[in-house]
Structure formats: C-alpha cells, structure tokens
Amino acid sequence: MERNEIIIEESLFLTPKKTMDIVLGAIQEIIPYELAVILSKEPDNKLKVRYVKGDLSTERLKKYEIPISSRPDLDEVMQIGEVKLVEETYDKNHHDTYEGIIELPVGHSCMLAPLHVEGNILGLMTLDHRECDMFTPQRVSIAKTLSKLISLALAESISADNLLNEKETLIYERNSLVSDIGSVVEGLVGKTLVWRQVIEKIKLVAPTDSSVMILGETGTGKEQVAKAIHALSNRSKRPFIALNCSALNFNLAESELFGHEKGSFTGAVASRRGRFELAEGGILFLDEVGDLPMEIQPKLLRSLQEGTFERVGGEKTIQADVRIICATNVNLEEKVKEGKFREDLFYRLNVFPISLPPLRARKDDIILLADHFLNKLSVKFGGKNLSLTNDAVIALQNNNWHGNVRELQNTLERAAILSKGKIIKPYHLVFENSHYKKEDYKRDETIGPFDEEIKKIILKALSLTNGKIYGNNGAATLLKMKPTTLQSKMKKLKIVS
C-alpha cells in the first residue's frame, strides 16, 4: 500500500467555514441550543451575521445585519465583555435580537457572549433555545472560555490575524497545513469522514489552552490524541505527563497529583514532586478521569481554578501553569447524576469534548491501519515485509473489534508470530473477542485422531466466520452442513460458541 494512501486529503485544511462549524458543533455538546449565531462587528458599525447553526436557522438570518446604534443593549454586552443571559419579557420596549426574522416564545433561553481578542472587540455570539432555563449557571460559566475559541475562528474568518498572539497564530496556521497527522503522532491513521472530523478538532483546539475531554471506548487511541494535541500546541517543547486515575486510591491520588513533603506520612522518606509540578508549562493527561477518587476532586478543582496547590504535608503554595487533557470511556454525566463525580469539576474539564469513533464505525480505515502496523512489525521482526492474503483482509474487515485499534494491533502482532513467514493467512488471526478457543486450532502437518481433526476443522470454520453459525456467512454454510448438525458436533466435541 502506498504511503500517499494514508495521507489526509487537502480538503482537510481548516477553512474558516469548516473551523466555525466544528467549534459550534463542539459547543452544542456542552450547551444545548437550537440556534447559534456568530456576528462580526463591521467597520460601518453594524453587526453582520457570519455563521448560523441549529434547527432554527433560516436563509434570511444568514443575510441579517443589525445597526449597533439601534441596539445599545448588544453594544453594552460587547463593551463590558461578560457573558449575559437575557430575560425575555412582555415589555413593549424589549426587542428580541432577531425580531422579525425568527419568532421565539417569550421567556425562551437566550445567551449573549462577546467575542474579544487581546482587548479588541470582534463581535458577538448568541445562543437561543425555545425552552426556558436551558442555560444553567454551569453552562454560562464555561461560555466565556468557549467564546475565546470562537473568537480565534472569527479572527481568521475576517482576516484579523494581527489581533492574535503571534506565536498562537503561527501554530494555528501550521496546524491547518498539517495534512498527515500520523507524521506528528504515530498511529493516528485514517481517511473516513468520522476520523477526519476528529483530526480537524485536534488541529483546531491544539493551539488554545482550553481543557479537552477525549471520549471513547477502550483502545480507540485516546492517549495518542492527547499526544497529538500536545505536539501541535505551543506547549510542545514542555512536558507531557500522563496519569492513569483508575490505578489510584485516595491515599495515593493526592500524593501522585500534588507531591508530598518528607515525613508527611508513613513511608515518605523524601520529598517528592507530583504530576502537577512535573507538568509545569506543559500538559497533564488524566486518563480514565472518571475513576478519580471523589475525595481528591475538590483539591483538583481548586488547583484548576486558582492555578496553585500545596504538596501533601506542605505549607508552601506552588504556582501551576498546566493545561489539562482528560480521557474517559464512561459516561461522566451519568456519574455526576449518581453523585460519583463532581458536577463543577466535570464542567471545568469538559470545555472541548472530542469523541473518538470505535473501529467498527470506521471499517474503511482498517486496512490503512493494518498496513501501518504491518510496516512497524516488519521492522520489529527483522525486515520480514509482512503482508495479508485477501481472505485475511476479509477476516479483518468482518471482525467487530470490541477492543478497537489496540486489538487490531495486538491481533496483527500475534499473526506475525504465528505465520513464521511473510504471509499472514486467516488462521493466523486470533481475535480477542471470540468465545471459543481459537488457539486450539493450530496449523499442523501431522494427522491426529478423527475427533481431533474434526474439531480443528470446526474451529477453523468458526475462526473464518467470527463465531457465526447460522446464515449465508455462517460456519454451517461454509462446512455445507445443517446448523443443528454443526451445533450437535460442537456439543459432542465440547466446543463452546
């Protein structure tokens, strides 16, 4: 397979429209809205609609302009620079932002977020929902952070790069030109639409200092995505420190995160820096953050809010300039409802979520990933130039991959060992999610007792059909026998499906 087949196409370059669409989509995962509008402040002192997203979007709205002189309330929000919730009333002097364009019920939810960069007013973001009280205090509190991300995208849209920090601008532009992110961080290979959307989000959020929550099943590559964000950020020369929260209990968690002083507890024979200190100026990656002990969550929240912390047993306050990236394979919102995760910490960490698709949702990427891993394995095993037969390729594509990319990598490494050569065939592929023991099937030139040979044949058929017995693609059809007869044989030979 040629290298250029795994390079992400030029169409992935971040255009202003594509950038804004990604950001607004990410915001909707945190702040539910039915209408999001981005308005830019124009030289003629008007607010011009530049981007619209949501169920209430109309063509008329996309061409809408508001004279600032006629809306002192909007001007005041931009001048003050604070996110504001608008209280809709029956007052005849009250005017809805898009009056005459969209009819919204009295009392609907409306949020105004000013867009600023380095003190310069760029415009305004409005979020609307027909239901009342949709924008909770927690959501309002993170809107200011999100508006900074929108401001960057809007600045690019109106060619206002001179308003941005020079270093951040260069990184943002560089990331837009990165066509093959696999050259930045190993393993991020693919060209399906769902995967390209992930790559664009990585390139978009990397230059900012926003917290990122990476969501996805086990084995989807959450740590690799975190490393990609680090590599494309302005902290790339600073540390990337990872901590697996699932391995912590309360006694360990505080010391691991914040360090301890000598003698602060039994066994503390020397002072020790925690992960926060080690990550100074860089990125702290909290893997499986949903398993973080409840007892440590208040201190973590305070450290994020104030940028300071103390070691266990210490009195000295330590400054912390650390960007947080988290990952989880559980539903944190459900854990919040169950009282197992602090709601305020959740909102603090979940500023920009990136959801990674399971491998079964991007099956067209399986062969690209397989080619990538086989190239690595060829080098690891002394230049074997490993390759797959067509039947092996079909077997890979038909597997469900509950272990995702990690399972694919492990499966190919096992196959490379079992093949004893350069060609990987279907019977070399031992999948992890099978209920029957495929390892019982071994390629062997000798002939054993009749029942043992029959068992091998059945196991081989089950291996090729991923355990399926019935149907056109089932093992019974492959063996040209009735499914009930096959099940009877399996029961006799103690083969569990």
- At 439-455, the pLDDT tens digits run 444 444 567 787 788 88
- Provide the strand spans (E) within 88-194: 109-117, 120-129
Q: Among 59, 36, 63, which residue's Cα sits nearest to residue 49?
A: 63
What does the alpha-carbon distance between residue 280 and residue 322 come to, in Å, rounded to a whole number?
6
To the nearest 10 degrees (0 to 180), the angle between helices 450-464 and 483-492 is 130
Residue 29 CB partners (closer than 8 Å, separation 6+): 353, 355
For residues 476 and 470, the answer to whether their CB atoms sit within 8 Å is: yes
The alpha carbon of residue 110 and the mean position of all alpha carbons in its chain are separated, in whole angstroms, by: 28
pLDDT at 127: 93
Residue type, 446: T
- CA distances to 159, 172, 196, 437 from 163, rounded to whole Å, are 9, 13, 29, 62
What DSSP designation does 438 have? G
9 phi and psi, to 5 degrees? -65, 160
What does the alpha-carbon distance between residue 95 and residue 201 come to, in Å, rounded to a whole number?
36
Q: 3-state DSSP call for residue 445?
A: coil
What does the alpha-carbon distance between residue 200 and residue 209 come to, in Å, rounded to a whole number?
17
pLDDT at 396: 93
Q: 3-state DSSP call for residue 286?
A: strand
For residues 274 and 322, the answer to whether their CB atoms sit within 8 Å is: no
- Determine how many CB atoms are found less than 10 A away from the CB of residue 370: 25
Torsion-angle region of residue 471: left (phi > 0), alpha (psi -120 to 50) or beta? Answer: left
Q: 3-state DSSP call for residue 134?
A: coil
What does the alpha-carbon distance between residue 36 and residue 97 come to, in Å, rounded to a whole number?
12
pLDDT at 366: 93
- CA distances to 112, 265, 293 from 272, rounded to whole Å, are 46, 12, 21
Q: 3-state DSSP call for residue 318?
A: strand
Q: What is the widest separation between alpha-carbon atoms in the chain?
A: 93
For residues 41 and 122, the answer to whether their CB atoms sit within 8 Å is: yes
pLDDT at 95: 75
Name residues of the chain where pLDDT drops below 70. 1-17, 88-94, 158-186, 433-446, 472, 497
Q: Among 346, 325, 326, 352, which residue's Cα sits nearest to residue 334?
A: 346
For residues 131 and 157, the answer to whether their CB atoms sit within 8 Å is: no
Q: 3-state DSSP call for residue 9?
A: coil
What does the alpha-carbon distance between residue 381 and residue 376 come to, in Å, rounded to a whole number?
9
pLDDT at 213: 96
For residues 349 and 385, the answer to whether their CB atoms sit within 8 Å is: no
